[in-house]
Homo-oligomer: A and B are copies of this chain.
Amino acid sequence: MELAEIILYTQKQRDNYVKRFEEALAIPSISTFPENRQYMLRMAEWLTAQMTAMGLENVSLMPTPNNPIVYGDWMHAPGKPTVLVYGHYDVQPADPLEEWDSPPFSPSVRGDYIYARGASDMKGQIFAQLMAVEALLGQSGQLPINVKYLIEGDEEVGSPPLENFIRTNKELLSCDAVLNCDSMIHGADAPSIVYALRGLAYFELTVSGPAKDVHSGMFGGIIRNPLNVLCEVLAGMHDAEGRITLPGFYDTVRLLSEDEREVLRQGPYSERYFMDLSGSPGLFGESGYSSMERLGARPALDINGIWGGFQGEGAKTVLPARAGAKFSMRLVADQQLDEVVKQLEAYLETAMPKECRYALSVHSLGPGAIMDRKAAPIQAAAKAMKLVFGKEPFFRREGASVPVVGMMQQQLGVDSLMLGFGLPDDGIHGPNERQSLPLLFKGIETYLHFMNILGS
């Protein structure tokens, strides 16, 4: 059967798709809450039922110390690429419940959107990919490529079992590329492909001075106040040009080529866009770069939390014994995590005055990732998008971190194609999360073209 006919078939299935999608959205698979464990299992079983019925093989729930991982494959396209589809079936908690216009686990279609927790992040994305495979297998009995599935149930709690699972199942998961569906596009009429993600190094610093909280009149001006020191040391991590001052920090940062700068300029990312999206009265970053370049291709260092001294109403004249902060860096190719930790330690060694003490702890270290825009899966995705959206997608780097992409590079030695059909204003992690249904349908068609092109 021709692809065009299969696409027509899926277009006739849209009401059916919505009904089945609603089944998935009705299951409160919130991985954060132990009391929702039964729903985690129900959601995993809903997936395996779909996958088995559509003709995938070796479909199974693979146990982990947390929630089971859903596996399945179809490996009957010899000589064709094998794509490992990554997704997660867990969702964020839905609170504050009172801010939802319809209950988060009672899916509600209003206009072009379906509202429910997990609609965009990411049940919708994995559903679109599965429906494309279902249509191909059901209508033509075969797929143009080999596929494997790894759908985890712990992404929203940081994927604790995932790295070990991949490491111990390298053969089962071996593939030519990962298709990571946990992504989005820029706009309904602005298809985009993410080809780079920043890494994350998250730290906590505490500074201690006097043995206990002391009176600022009795000691103000003669001892190191941990709050003053903390602010000075944190502030010293940037210069006036917005550059990070840790020694050697930029030494290994991969420079943007003129070619890539031109690619990044194609995106519809005006200064106004970022101001509106953040509500910030202005933009600021490392001098010499556009916001899009800063966001994707340049590292950043931000304080994420700070505390110390008196935080109540009114005034208390205290110099606290301790003060602390959490801060994190977004890292880019080719910064190495262990090098960055050393640079931070070296900075603190110099910057921290000797009249106080400090302790640094590492909360998490996750590598960034950059993929070759010319690689076959990315080019296939771009061509598929062109066919479905009627325009070339633009390429972008993503400022956030998706640890699984780095894991796949490290453990399986393969790049990931990030592809998803949610929108930046879908309200993921917030109330009234939604997914555009027209985009969900375009997603199904894009996946059909993508597999077809990659396998041809």
Contact = CB atoms under 8 A, between A and B. Distances in A.
Interface of A: 198, 200, 202, 209-212, 214-225, 227-228, 230-232, 234-236, 238, 242, 274, 277-286, 291, 294-295, 298-311, 314-321, 323, 325-326, 328, 330, 353-357, 363-364, 398-401
A238 B227 contact: no
Nearest to A209: B280
Contacts of A354: 281-282
Contacts of A299: 221
Contacts of A231: 230-232, 234-235, 303, 306
Given A198-B217, A355-B284, A399-B219, A305 B314 contact: no
Contacts of A364: 315
B280 A356 contact: yes
A314 B217 contact: no
Given A232-B238, A304-B316, A285 B225 contact: no
A300 B223 contact: no
Given A303-B227, A355-B284, A315 B310 contact: no
A27 B180 CA distance: 72
Contact of A202 (B280, B291, B317): B317
Given A281-B355, A309-B305, A355-B280, A400 B223 contact: no
Given A211-B280, A282-B354, 16 more contacts: A200-B217, A211-B279, A214-B278, A217-B400, A218-B277, A219-B277, A219-B280, A219-B295, A220-B301, A221-B242, A221-B285, A222-B294, A225-B302, A232-B238, A310-B326, A315-B326
Contacts of A398: 217
A284 B330 contact: no
Q: Chain copies in the assembly?
A: 2
- Give the residue among A211, A212, A228 with the most B Cβ atoms within 10 A: A228
Given A214-B278, A304-B319, A223 B283 contact: yes
A325 B220 CA distance: 17
Given A232-B235, A317-B200, A355-B281, A302 B222 contact: no
A217 B398 CA distance: 8
